[in-house]
Amino acid sequence: MALLRDPLLNKGTAFTESERAALGLRGLLPPCVLTMETQAQRVLTNLRTLPTDLEKYVALNALHDRNEALFFRVVVDNIDEIQPIIYTPTVGLACQKYGLIFQRPRGMFISSRDRGQIAELLKNWPYQAKLIVVTDGERILGLGDLGANGMGIPVGKLSLYSACAGVHPEACLPVVLDVGTNNDELLNDPYYLGLRERRLTGEAYDSFVDEFMQAARKTFPGVLIQFEDFANHSAFKLLHKYRDEACVFNDDIQGTAAVALAGLFSALRVNGGKLKDQKILFLGAGEAATGIADLVVSAMMAEGVSEADALRRNWLVDSRGLVVGGRQGLHGHKLRYAHADQAPIADFLTAIRTLKPTAIIGVAAVGGAFTPEVLKTMAELNEQPIVFALSNPTSKAECSAEDAYRYTEGRALFACGSPYDPVTLNGRSFVPRQGNNSYIFPGVGLGVIASGSKLVTDEMFMAAAHTLADCVGKDDLAQGSLYPSLPRIREVSVRIAAAVADVAFQRGLADGPAPNDVKALVQSQMYEPHY
Ligand SMILES: NC(=O)C1=CN([C@@H]2O[C@H](COP(=O)(O)OP(=O)(O)OC[C@H]3O[C@@H](n4cnc5c(N)ncnc54)[C@H](OP(=O)(O)O)[C@@H]3O)[C@@H](O)[C@H]2O)C=CC1
Ligand SMILES: CC(=O)C(=O)O
Ligand SMILES: [Mg+2]
């Protein structure tokens, strides 16, 4: 009976006659033995009768908790259909309703009440984690502070690690650091499952996170830790504090940078431009924007431009307007892009008219900010404007795919953070694809784990960006797709992982000498969902 209740071992109705006899399962299952294919078909049939995406999310979660192999089989074989349910946009809604839809816990919930005991608590995890995705829930997608409800994000990211890159589910540990929430709605929600107190701040917060970091690394030596959906003020601080001593990265800063740069490379193959000649205007000046801008600057410099010139080709608009030199209160990550000799500009459209960018990248979580006027202006300024609406979930997208194509007469080179269906305009069909770090982190994580890298470096993200861009074919570009199709994701992840592992071996970061065939090493470590 214990076997039927262990999701990592359970096969349900697929246990064979001989297994049933040997494992004490006779009488505990209906007599008919099903194949995994029939089970998967049954899952899909049931799923497709459910009226809402949230109900589908709940059903898939329940399957995940019953039978991991079947769950991942269904995800891998139907990635286009299932990813939007277990990841953005539906995972955003699932986090908002986390307390209401909660059935079984997944991952570890470490709250500020556990201070002083985190190492002890981590021992309760029954597996040897190689990969932790951790959030404190303060900036869940573009939905703000969702406190402990943010757990849906590490769970969703780790599902993609196993589905898209074959990191073994047993190696994956989702963690929420529950330091309270400042979201009054949640504090008053009878179903909220997190601590009902305001967020820990300052030294108390820092030492709590540090205790977790030390305990996690001690309990799971060599573990890769991915920071996810921390608020801006914590994200940069934590990345800089740990990146040179621990195997960590920040997905929102570094993963997003790589996927956006790959998308730019693809767009430039279509319009014939060079990266060093682009002028990029970001809506947003936070983790995603400055992460992308920093990697773009490095890539421009690799094309022979000076750092000063490369910086000058990247401009940021934040909640107070264009980031310019001399503006009061600017600090940290924005300062590199606070260009002198430019008067302040309050709004995005005027910034476009003044700066004449070749590309706009939306990462401010302001839904609809790429208005018809913005899109038309980009189309007036550029034969083929680059328009990336990367904010998540869909409600926060800067524009829809349809609007991006319609208001640029089908000339936009478009990518979106959350999925959009294909668009038909004047008889031409466009297939927009997701500029989402989900193309990057699975392969990066696999490469880091396979090589046993001690650190995760910017060079790895640069390699990942180039590799992802190389996976895009002419047929993709011809239909407006700046990324490869999702059904190819495991092949893409292998290539990214090999490129990342190569960097680890070349830089002496890996755990051992380089093998003859790095790709084979990576592939040998991949989990295949079958019985
Ligand atoms: N597609 C993908 O792979 C990814 C998408 N994202 C999405 O990007 C969005 C932002 O994430 P992240 O960068 O981490 O968040 P941050 O909080 O770090 O940054 C948000 C930025 O948006 C700015 N902003 C807020 N309101 C406005 C406004 N009205 N006009 C102009 N700028 C504004 C903020 O300004 P100020 O600095 O003044 O506060 C801030 O600079 C989210 O929706 C997230 O889902 C994030 C990571 C990956
Ligand atoms: C995709 C992602 O990481 C985000 O929207 O935060
Ligand atoms: Mg994120």
pLDDT digits (tens, 9 = 90+) for 368-395: 999 999 999 999 999 999 999 999 999 9
| Residue 331 confidence (pLDDT) | 87
Structure tokens at 121: 């608590």
Q: How far is CA 269 from CA 19, 466, 468, 477, in A?
A: 54, 13, 14, 8
462, 450, 461, 464: which is closest to 495 by C-alpha? 464
Closest ligand 2 atom to 251 CA: 3
| Residue 304 confidence (pLDDT) | 97
Distance CA 170, CA 190 (A): 33
Q: Which residue's CA is minimally distant from atom 5 of ligand 2?
A: 141
**Ligand 1: centre distance to CA 397 (Å):** 11
379, 385, 376: which is closest to 358 by C-alpha? 385
Q: Does residue 360 contact residue 378 with C-beta atoms inside 8 Å? A: yes
Q: Which ligand is nearest to the CA of 286?
A: 1
Ligand 2 pocket, residue 251 CB under 6 Å = yes
**Ligand 3: centre distance to CA 426 (Å):** 35
Closest ligand 1 atom to 364 CA: 22
Q: Which residues are annotated as a binding site for (S)-malate?
A: 139, 392, 436
Return the sign of the alpha-carbon dihedral for residues 217, 222, 224, 227.
positive
Distance CA 332, CA 369 (A): 25
286, 313, 291, 289: which is closest to 300 by C-alpha? 313
Residues of the chain within CATH 3.40.50.720 domain(s) are: 254-436
3-state SS record for 262-284: HHHHHHHHHHCCCHHHCCEEEEE
Given the candidates 3.40.50.150, 1.10.600.10, 3.40.225.10, 3.40.50.720, the CATH classification of the domain at 254-436 is: 3.40.50.720
Determine the 3-state secondary structure of 391 from DSSP.
coil
Q: What is the Cα 115 distance to its own chain's centre?
A: 29
Q: Which CATH architecture has domain 440-524?
A: 3-Layer(aba) Sandwich (3.40)
User: Cβ neighbours of residue 426 under 8 Å, at least 6 residues apart?
Assistant: 410
| Residue 17 confidence (pLDDT) | 98
Determine the 3-state secondary structure of 429 from DSSP.
strand
| Residue 107 confidence (pLDDT) | 98
Burial of 132 (0-12, 13-18, 19+ CB in 10 A): buried
Determine the 3-state secondary structure of 109 from DSSP.
strand
Rg, Å, the chain Cα set: 23
User: Cβ neighbours of residue 159 under 8 Å, at least 6 residues apart?
Assistant: 64, 72, 75, 86, 87
Residues of the chain within CATH 3.40.50.10380 domain(s) are: 35-246, 440-524
pTM of this prediction exceeds 0.80:
yes
Below-50 pLDDT ranges, the chain: none
Q: Does residue 143 contact residue 236 with C-beta atoms inside 8 Å? A: no
Residues in the chain: 531
102, 179, 98: which is closest to 137 by C-alpha? 179
97, 139, 165: which is closest to 392 by C-alpha? 139
Give ipTM to 2 decimals: 0.99
Q: Which residues are catalytic?
A: 87, 157
Question: Which CATH superfamily includes the segment(s) 35-246?
Answer: Malic enzyme, N-terminal domain (3.40.50.10380)
Q: Does residue 248 contact residue 239 with C-beta atoms inside 8 Å? A: yes
Closest ligand 2 atom to 252 CA: 3
Ligand 1 pocket, residue 435 CB under 6 Å = yes
Ligand 2 pocket, residue 138 CB under 6 Å = no
Q: Which residue's CA is minimally distant from atom 3 of ligand 1?
A: 436
pLDDT digits (tens, 9 = 90+) for 203-223: 999 999 999 999 999 999 999
